[in-house]
């Protein structure tokens, strides 16, 4: 959530920055500032009435001592009138504050200066490419056909048990999933991230804290009886560990990682791009989250990008890294880099990671702060990244490593899988 101070200090600048996200912010910004002025005016008037109320209340005792009962009663009536008026102003102030908040959360995060202008994924900028060229054997198959051929992922069985988008992993397919999760967690831990196992259902306050609510409510699975949401990403419970927390400066950075299943309704998704593992309602993902001082957050972002790149590179996969344009960024992000893997069997790029800096946007919603050298509370910066999301990694591994004799497991994964080929 943007801060009121930022909006008061430079409303035109905020409007211009949000235009990079193709968001028309001026009507909301003007409404927020109008409500802020009203709220402060009501508070000032209420404070003035309260001071007058206290002054007159002090007069009552003196009048009673002088035996001026009638005069004291008259002052009591004035105090009661002032109190009623003050309460009325406070109620109006509370209503203005709530309306202000309701409008403030409608504003997305402002993109940083490095974010390119653009309206869609077609305008994203490739900043790096890597990995070997993929040479498929004759008669190569897409991963959903490989999964059926080797009986390692059963999409039809998932439909029977639950519905489309809930695959069943079997045999070496299940072991490959577990191997990748352990590999990613071990590598994250070696890079300094503390392993955590959070809940996979969260309350509405947690969804609001990281910006999933109210922006992405339609994409989340809701457990109505308990007013909980299934997590769309481990970012939500991990970042909410720090909700309503004030850290000391020497406690930063905070670096944590977790594996969770993730649940997304993916409303509106259809067509060829949803086949197989390309788009699921339930999938496994390992996440990394950092909490940083503002002056350190962009160096931390670079370190996260380099770390994710090392995972993809060591798996022997062809990839590129994109800096997302304003029109393709999330509501909450100040800057995002996407990693995509090349699927030669499908002839398309598959997104497997997003690494983002949210600057103070989430921290303001979370009331997440640290004490600076002067002991004054300041908003932290939060960052997160997929490290990594499994489905499309598995899809690329199966497709890119297929041979006439079976699917060869990358050497770095073999200590985790316990086998070197799926046949």
- Confidence at residue 56, expressed as pLDDT on a 0 to 100 scale: 77
Give the per-residue pLDDT at 272.
Answer: 54
Average pLDDT, consecutive stretches of 10 residues, N- to C-terminus, the chain (423 residues) = 96 98 98 96 89 79 75 79 87 95 96 97 97 92 97 97 97 98 98 98 97 88 95 98 97 98 79 82 98 98 98 97 97 97 93 97 98 96 97 96 96 98 97
In the block, tokens 């996979």 appear at 200
H or E, element range at 7:
helix 4-9
Over the stretch 3-38, which tens digit does the pLDDT of each residue have?
999 999 999 999 999 999 999 999 999 999 999 999
- The one-character DSSP state at 108 is P
Task: Please choose, from the candidates 215, 232, 210, the residue with its C-alpha nearest in 3D space to the C-alpha of residue 364.
Answer: 210
Element (H, E) at 26: helix 26-65
Please tell me the predicted confidence (pLDDT) of residue 402. Answer: 96
b vs e for 76-85, b when ≥16 Cβ sit within 10 Å of the residue's Cβ?
Answer: eebbeebeee
Q: Helix, strand or coil for residue 193?
A: coil
The tens digit of pLDDT for each residue in 38-68 reads: 999 999 998 888 888 788 777 777 777 777 7
* Total-model pTM: 0.93
The predicted structure's pLDDT at residue 64: 75
Query: Which three-class secondary structure string do you get for 346-373?
Result: CCEEEEEEEEEECCCHHHHHHCCEEECC
E-strand stretches of 141-210: 153-154, 168-169, 194-195, 201-203
């Amino acid at each position: 959530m943007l801060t009121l101070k930022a909006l008061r200090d430079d409303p035109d600048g905020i409007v211009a920055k949000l235009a990079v996200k193709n968001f028309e912010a001026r009507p909301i910004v003007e409404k927020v500032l109008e409500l802020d002025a009203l709220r402060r005016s009501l508070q000032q008037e209420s404070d003035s009435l309260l001071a007058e109320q206290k002054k007159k209340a002090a007069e009552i005792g003196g009048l009673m001592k002088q035996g001026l009962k009638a005069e004291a009663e008259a002052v009591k009536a004035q105090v009661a009138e002032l109190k009623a008026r003050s309460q009325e102003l406070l109620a109006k102030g509370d209503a203005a504050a709530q309306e202000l908040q309701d409008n403030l959360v409608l504003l997305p995060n402002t993109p940083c200066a490095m974010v390119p202008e653009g309206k869609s994924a077609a305008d994203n900028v490739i900043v790096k490419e890597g990995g070997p060229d993929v040479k498929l054997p004759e008669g190569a198959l897409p991963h959903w056909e490989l999964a059926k051929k080797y009986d390692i992922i059963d999409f039809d069985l998932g439909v029977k048990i639950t519905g489309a988008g809930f695959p069943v992993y079997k045999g070496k397919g299940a072991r490959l999933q577990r191997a990748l999760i352990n590999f990613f967690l071990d590598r994250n831990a070696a890079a300094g991230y503390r392993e955590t196992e959070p809940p996979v259902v969260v309350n509405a306050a947690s969804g609001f804290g990281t910006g999933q609510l109210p922006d992405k409510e339609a994409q989340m699975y809701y457990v109505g009886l308990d007013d909980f949401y299934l997590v769309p990403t481990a970012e939500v419970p991990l970042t909410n560990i720090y909700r309503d927390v004030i850290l000391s400066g020497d406690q930063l950075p905070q670096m944590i990682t977790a594996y969770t299943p993730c649940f997304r309704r993916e409303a509106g998704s259809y067509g060829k791009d949803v086949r197989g593992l390309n788009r699921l309602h339930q999938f496994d993902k390992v996440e990394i989250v950092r909490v940083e001082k503002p002056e350190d957050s962009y160096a931390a972002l670079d370190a996260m990008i380099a770390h994710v790149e090392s995972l993809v590179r060591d798996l022997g996969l062809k990839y590129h890294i994109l800096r997302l344009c304003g029109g393709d960024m999330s509501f909450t992000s100040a800057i995002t880099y996407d990693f995509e893997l090349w699927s030669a069997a499908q002839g398309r790029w598959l997104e497997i990671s997003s690494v983002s800096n949210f600057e103070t946007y989430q921290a303001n919603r979370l009331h997440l702060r640290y004490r600076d050298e002067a002991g004054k509370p300041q908003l932290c910066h939060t960052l997160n990244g997929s490290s990594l999301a499994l489905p499309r990694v598995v899809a690329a591994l199966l497709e890119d490593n297929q041979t006439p004799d079976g699917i060869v497991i990358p050497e770095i994964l073999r200590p985790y899988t316990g086998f070197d080929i799926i046949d």
